[in-house]
Structure 1
Amino acid sequence: MEIILLLFVVVLIAVAIIASRMSENYVPYPYKLKDVSLCTAQEDQFLTLLEKSVGDSFRIFTKVRLSDIVTVRSGLSSTARKDAHNKASQRILDYVLCDIHTMQVKAAIELEPGQSSLNQQKRNLFLKNTLAAAGLPFLRFKAKPGYRVAELHDYIHGKIRQAEHVRAAVPTNKDKNKQPIAA
């Protein structure tokens, strides 16, 4: 009887030690705030310039995931659909302009480094083609000083108007979706 009691106490102590060690290492939310800014100094300067350029016409969002603004068209195999979605999920746009009243996405903007690498060129080609397929303007600007607010305003508004005219001219299929109809 004493051996059973002694064995019970030893097991109880062992369980208590294991439980205390587990609780020391267990943290339900093991996160902390990163010590980083969402924008680099160049991106922040360009954002300020963009805000002045678009005025009250658009709201500017930074670091938007491509898959948050485009979706994969229907009619693909599940594997192709998943691959396309994963590609879009891995891409982040520097700036997205939305209509101030409707929050409808109007354009995507990239601030490119002075020297483009091959990876950057491939990335931009993917973004350009994806956004073109979605009917959304993709504007790229080199990271350099000297942009003028009025010139940016005219360029951005011109590209958005141009895209809206193109979208309005695209025939509607029987499902009321604006997609080119195959000839």
Structure 2
Amino acid sequence: MSFLALVLVAFVCFALVFFIKQRQYNHPALRMPYRLQEPFFQPSEQELLALLQQAVGERFLILCKVRVADVVEVTAVPRRAPWYQAVNRISAARFDFLLCDPQTLTPCCAIEMEQPDESNAFVDELCQTIDLPLIRLTPETARAYDRLCAAIDQAIPPISHGSA
């Protein structure tokens, strides 16, 4: 009889723990653990965005914090494992800024606010492969209007509208 009582007590304890855990997991703070990130841009990003708007005017549409996977597609890979690996490499990466043609929204240039190093070498090689100019800005260049304009013009030469 004592064995049956022990099993019954263990079952009740298990049920109680299960019930408490379920209530905890259904708590709104755990079910939807999100909040609006503020600020959306760091001060340096806000400063660069203002300079970019000034520098490119109506020549380009500026998109901010664009996922690489939204711009780049994985070409045909014969096996699933390499395809998933290729998709995973681009799924978490993002461009700080993307300059696009205002009419077609075709990406014309990517802008990164970090210097090249081994950790971001993949993005450099990727942009070279897909023929998308990439500008990597130093903090000094990101704050200087004339340097920023020169970097953009070097990556994407201005189209001359002269007569033939």
Normalising by structure 2, report the TM-score.
0.71
Q: Distance in 2 between matches of 1:22 and 1:146?
A: 50
Q: Counterpart in 2 of 1:82?
A: 84
Q: Counterpart in 1 of 2:156?
A: 160
- How many pairs does the alignment contain? 140
1:99 Cα deviation after fit: 0.8
Q: Distance in 2 between matches of 1:152 and 1:105?
A: 18
Runs of 5+ in structure 2 lacking a partner?
A: 1-18, 159-164
Task: Describe the shift of the 1:24–1:43 C-alpha distance in structure 2 as closer, same or farther (beyond 3 A).
Answer: closer
Q: Counterpart in 2 of 1:65?
A: 67
Q: Distance in 1 between matches of 2:34 and 2:71?
A: 28
Secondary structure of the corresponding residue to residue 126 of structure 1: helix
Q: Distance in 2 between matches of 1:25 and 1:33?
A: 17
1:122 to 93, 118, 121: 118
* Equivalent pair of 2:141/2:147 in contact (CA under 8 Å): no
1:78 Cα deviation after fit: 1.4
1:160 Cα deviation after fit: 2.2
Moved over 2 A (4+): 21-29, 31-35, 144-155
2:139 to 134, 140, 143: 143
Q: Counterpart in 1 of 2:32?
A: 30
Task: Describe the shift of the 1:161–1:29 C-alpha distance in structure 2 as closer, same or farther (beyond 3 A).
Answer: farther
Q: Counterpart in 2 of 1:102?
A: 104
Specify the code of the residue in structure 1 equivalent to 2:50.
T
1:74 Cα deviation after fit: 1.3
Task: Describe the shift of the 1:153–1:26 C-alpha distance in structure 2 as closer, same or farther (beyond 3 A).
Answer: same
Please identify, of 152-161 and 39-48, the stretch whose mean Cα deviation from structure 2 is larger. Answer: 152-161
Kindly indicate whether residue 46 of structure 2 is the aligned counterpart of residue 44 of structure 1.
yes
Task: Describe the shift of the 1:145–1:134 C-alpha distance in structure 2 as closer, same or farther (beyond 3 A).
Answer: closer
Specify the code of the residue in structure 1 equivalent to 2:151.
Y
Please identify, of 26-35 and 128-137, the stretch whose mean Cα deviation from structure 2 is larger. Answer: 26-35
Identity %: 26
Q: Distance in 1 between matches of 2:126 and 2:142?
A: 30
Specify the code of the residue in structure 2 equivalent to 1:131.
C
Task: Describe the shift of the 1:110–1:58 C-alpha distance in structure 2 as closer, same or farther (beyond 3 A).
Answer: same
Runs of 5+ in structure 1 lacking a partner?
A: 1-17, 163-183
Secondary structure of the corresponding residue to residue 144 of structure 1: helix
Q: Distance in 2 between matches of 1:146 and 1:23?
A: 47
